[in-house]
Chains A and B, each alone.
Chain A
C-alpha cells in the first residue's frame, strides 16, 4: 500500500493530476479543497 498526497494543487492542473493518478493505477483518489483556492489530492495505490 502506498499513499501519495499532493498539496497546493491549482485548479488549472487539478484535472490533469486526477486523470494522471487514475492512469497510474490509483485505487482511490480523494480531492479536498484547502480553502485557499488550491486543492489537496490524495491517491492510494494497492
Chain B
C-alpha cells in the first residue's frame, strides 16, 4: 500500500491529474478493493500541461472494483444537481459507498459493521475549489468556477460465512442552495464527509433532501396553440379589464396550475375553455 501511495504521489506531481493516477494505481488490485472517483467542473479552465481549455460543465464518474458470480457489485452512489452558472454556481452533490449509498437511495442497511478483525488501509477524500484559481508551477493553469473531486479506494474484506463487506463513506456539498438543514451555516457552502457508522447515520438526511429537491423541481406544461371557436372567444374575453384576474381565480379554484394566457391560447384544456368563458361572461 505504501508503494502504491508513493506511486500515486509521484504520478500526481508529474501530471497534475491525481484522480486519474489514483484509478491507475488502484487497478493493481481490482478484486480486493473498490475505487470510486468523480470529478466535476462547472466553469472555465485552461491548463498548459494538458494543453486543454474546458468551458461549461464537465463531469467524470468512474468505478473500478469486483463483480461477483451472481452479478452483484458493491453499492456506490453519486449525484449532482447544478444550475450551470459559472459566476454564481448552485450545486448540490452527493457521493456515497456501501450501506451509506443504500440508505441514501432509499434502501436499508445490508451489512453489519464491526470494528474488529484484520485491518487494511482505505482512502477517502474530497477536494473543492470555488472561484478563481491560478497555478504557476510547474505549469501555468487557471480555473474559474466550481471544481470538485471525490475519491475513495476501499478494500473489500471477508466477513466469515456472511460474505464480503464494503465500508461506508459519505460526502455531500451544497453550494448556494438554501433548502438544506445541514448547510444552514450562514455561508454559501455547506459540506461534510463521513465514514463508517457516521456515514450511515447521516445518509437519511441526504435521502430526505432528495425528496425535498424533487418536490421543488420545475413543473413543465407543454401544449400547442389553439384557434378553436371556444379558445378565440376566451382570448377575446381576456382583453377586457379584470377578466384576466377573474380567470386566474377560476383556474385556482379548480387546482389548475396554469397561467390564464396558457389556458386561453393553448389546447391544454379545450373542454374547459367554454365553461370558463361562460363563468367570466356571467360576471360581466
Contact = CB atoms under 8 A, between A and B. Distances in A.
Contact of A6 (B223, B227, B248, B260): B223
A1 B219 contact: yes
A33 interface: no
A3 B244 contact: no
A5 B224 CA distance: 8
Contact of A3 (B218, B238, B248): B218
Interface in A10-24: 10, 13, 16-17, 20-21, 23-24
B261 interface: yes
Nearest to A22: B261
Given A9-B225, A24-B248, A4 B262 contact: yes
B258 interface: yes
A45 B259 contact: yes
User: Size band of the B side of the interface?
Assistant: 20 to 34
Contacts of A20: 238, 244, 259-261, 264-265
B258 A4 contact: yes
B254 interface: no
A45 B248 CA distance: 14
A26 B259 contact: yes
Contacts of B223: 5-7
Interface string A15-45: 0110011011110000000000010000101
User: Which of A16, A23, A24 has the most chain B CB atoms inside 10 A of its CB?
Assistant: A24
A8 B225 contact: yes
A5 B267 CA distance: 12
Contacts of A43: 259, 261-262
B222 interface: yes
Given A20-B260, A23-B261, A24-B260, A5 B225 contact: no
The majority secondary structure among interface residues of chain B is: mixed
Contacts of B216: 1
A6 B257 CA distance: 15
B222 to A, nearest CB: 4
B33 to A, nearest CB: 42
B257 A2 contact: yes
B235 interface: yes
Interface in B236-267: 238, 244, 248, 257-262, 264-266
Contacts of A2: 218-221, 257
Interface of A: 1-10, 13, 16-17, 20-21, 23-26, 38, 43, 45
Given A3-B220, A4-B258, A10-B227, 19 more contacts: A1-B218, A5-B220, A6-B223, A6-B225, A6-B262, A7-B222, A8-B225, A10-B225, A13-B227, A13-B235, A13-B265, A16-B265, A20-B260, A21-B262, A24-B244, A24-B248, A24-B261, A43-B259, A45-B259
Interface of B: 216-225, 227, 235, 238, 244, 248, 257-262, 264-266
15 contacts: A1-B217, A2-B257, A3-B219, A3-B220, A4-B222, A6-B225, A7-B224, A9-B225, A10-B225, A17-B261, A20-B238, A21-B261, A23-B261, A24-B248, A38-B225
